[in-house]
Amino acid sequence: MSLILTEIKNRVGFITLNSEKTLNSLNLEMIETLTATMEAWKTSEEVVCIFIQGAGEKALCAGGDVRSLYDNIIAQRAIDGTQVPQGNFDFFAKEYALNYTIHTYPKPIIVWGHGIVMGGGIGVMVGASHRIVTERSKLAMPEITIGLFPDVGATWFLNRMPSAYGVYLGLTGARLDAADCRFLGLADYYMEAVEKQNVINALMEVNWRDSAGEQVGELLAAIAKKYTVGVSQAAEHQTFVQQFEGVQTLEAFRTILTDAAKDSWIEAGVQSFEKGSPSSAHIIFRQLKEGKTYSLEQVFQTELNLACQCCIHPDFAEGVRALLVDKDQSPKWQPATLEDVTDEWVDGYFTPLWTKENHVLKNLGKTE
């Protein structure tokens, strides 16, 4: 069974993430196939735009195949735990290069962001030119709960959200629905899921001109205009989130979060933050603070270093063990508390593993 299905109809390149049992989670093979397809279509006159979807009705993509990454870490520790597993290096490097390709693609990319869209799924969706959410869209970047950090370009898109939503979402992994995505700039159109075939049918009837992006936008806007997205919980909590603007330390963030009057939306964020990896909390706070001025190229270069450091440090493997392997939901974080995390420990995550000259992503954005 092919994990990536492709088809060209009326000059529209259709890509289907085809791993329904795993909620279309990305593995290295899928990333490589996606990359090869998009590179081939970039200059092909047979394709004027791309439509990306997930198989089934449950998810576009629930993230990356972190179980395989865990297995690679455990195998590598038996040999030399100070080295990044080659399989993990390949996964992250090729995933981030793919994310960059989507952000900078010269042709319109439509993403049908229906169902669960998490982690790597957001990486596929957020950089696209035309992003659709439905009544069943559920987005999140809950990496703090597995000892990782919001990656796939999150340094870029979280820092471009209004107010302090980026740092709040990064540190709490808060769940977002369609209304939230529209409010925060993660999606461009809202329509009910029953419209999917109508979108495809409309794409099949387009007489493509040079302005394909405008044609796609007009087509989607015409279908979406009959719908009104509901109330955004993120927007409803704007006064609360504004309290985090200008926060300079993680300790100050925690104080505001834990002292706030609680409702169900805030309480969910508090629980994720408090149960998450203390190391992740520190590196996420620093990641977003330092990355405010990064170029898109720098974002993916620094995220690759951070992801590989997470494979060497203990919490990523421990978080996956607790969630997906032993499923005891009781990770033993090292260090165990926010107070136990030293500046030197955090510095270790940000220590470069390569020089700029031999960084595998050094040529992002450079013409060949």
Cα 368 from Cα 352, distance rounded (Å): 26
* Per-position DSSP letters for 35-71, written without gaps between them: HHHHHHHHS-TT-SEEEEEESSSSEEE--B-HHHHHH
R_g of the chain, CA atoms, integer Å: 20
Cα 279 from Cα 302, distance rounded (Å): 17
Question: Which candidate, 300, 20, 250, places its Cα nearest to that of 144?
Answer: 250
Dihedral of CA atoms 105, 109, 113, 118 in degrees, nearest 10, equals -10
For this structure, is 64 an active site residue?
yes
Catalytic residue among 143, 177, 195, 318: 143
For this structure, is 177 an active site residue?
no
Question: Treating both helix axes as pointing N-terminal to C-terminal, what angle do 296-312 and 86-103 enclose, rounded to 10 degrees?
Answer: 160
CA atoms within 13 A on the CB side of 356: 2
Instruction: State the amino acid at position 301 in one-letter form.
Output: Q
Question: Which candidate, 353, 361, 359, places its Cα nearest to that of 311?
Answer: 353
CA distances from 34 to 15, 114, 124, 132, 349 (A): 8, 19, 10, 20, 29
Catalytic residue among 54, 64, 115, 319: 64
- Cβ pair 250, 148 in contact under 8 A: no
For this structure, is 81 an active site residue?
no
- Cβ pair 299, 158 in contact under 8 A: no
* Residue 17: strand pairing partners: 4, 54
163: tokens are: 């107010």
Length of the chain, in residues:
368
Beta strands in 55-115 (DSSP E): 59-61, 109-113
CA 94 to the chain's CA centroid: 14
Cα 161 from Cα 292, distance rounded (Å): 11
For this structure, is 120 an active site residue?
yes
Catalytic residue among 65, 95, 151, 177: 151
- Active-site residues: which are they? 64, 120, 143, 151
